């Protein structure tokens, strides 16, 4: 049986819980998953591997916690957002910029002869 230093784990929780709560609130927004339960599940998983986590640097621990939280969230019935769906289509962005450029710069600045001709985007 593995024994865990509960004082050290308490310090670990105090250090990492605020960031976990923020991440859980973002993940659970618009979902049926409760963010408090998600944080609890994540910390429960961290407790089971605390001996290994204790020797890691902060960046590695944060990465592990984020991965564990994502897996817990999916297991609890949440849907992880698709990053590709959230990003705007690049071609659509270029088309909007071209249209705006033409709208702003197609009008002559000073009379008829000031118009720029022959330019292409």
Rounded Cα–Cα distance for residues 1 and 100 (Å): 67
In this predicted structure, the answer to whether residue 17 has a pLDDT above a threshold of 80 is yes
Q: How far is Cα of residue 95 from the mean position of the Cα atoms in its chain?
A: 27
- Residues near 30 by Cβ (< 8 Å), separated by ≥ 6? none
Question: Tokens in use for 35?
Answer: 């963010």
Confidence of residue 38 (pLDDT cuts 50, 70, 90): very high
Which of 4-26 are b and which e, b meaning 16 or more Cβ less than 10 Å from the residue's Cβ? eeeeebeebeeebeeebeebbee
Q: What is the mean pLDDT of residues 20-27?
A: 92
pLDDT > 90: percent of the chain: 39
Q: What is the pLDDT of residue 83?
A: 45
Rounded Cα–Cα distance for residues 48 and 51 (Å): 8
**Residue 39 class from Cβ within 10 Å (0-12 exposed, 13-18 middle, 19+ buried)?**
buried
Q: What is the pLDDT of residue 3?
A: 67
Which residue would you say has higher pLDDT here, 33 or 98? 33
Q: What is the pLDDT of residue 65?
A: 94
Average pLDDT, the chain: 79
Rounded Cα–Cα distance for residues 33 and 21 (Å): 13
**Residue 64 class from Cβ within 10 Å (0-12 exposed, 13-18 middle, 19+ buried)?**
middle
- For 66-119, how does the pLDDT look when each residue is reduced to its tens digit (9 = 90+)? 999 999 998 888 766 554 444 456 777 767 777 777 776 766 555 555 555 555
In this predicted structure, the answer to whether residue 52 has a pLDDT above a threshold of 60 is yes
What residues does each domain of the chain span? 1-106
């Amino acid at each position: 049986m593995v024994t865990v230093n509960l004082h050290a784990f308490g310090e670990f929780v105090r250090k990492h819980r605020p960031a976990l709560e923020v991440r859980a609130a973002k993940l659970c927004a618009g979902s049926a998953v409760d963010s408090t339960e998600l944080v609890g599940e994540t910390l429960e998983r961290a407790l089971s591997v605390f001996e290994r986590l204790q020797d890691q640097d902060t960046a590695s621990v944060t990465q592990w916690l984020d991965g564990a939280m994502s897996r817990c969230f999916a297991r609890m019935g949440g849907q992880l957002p698709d990053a590709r769906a959230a990003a705007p289509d690049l071609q659509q962005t270029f088309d909007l910029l071209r249209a705006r450029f033409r709208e702003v710069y197609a009008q002559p600045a000073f009379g008829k002869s000031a118009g720029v001709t022959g330019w292409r985007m």
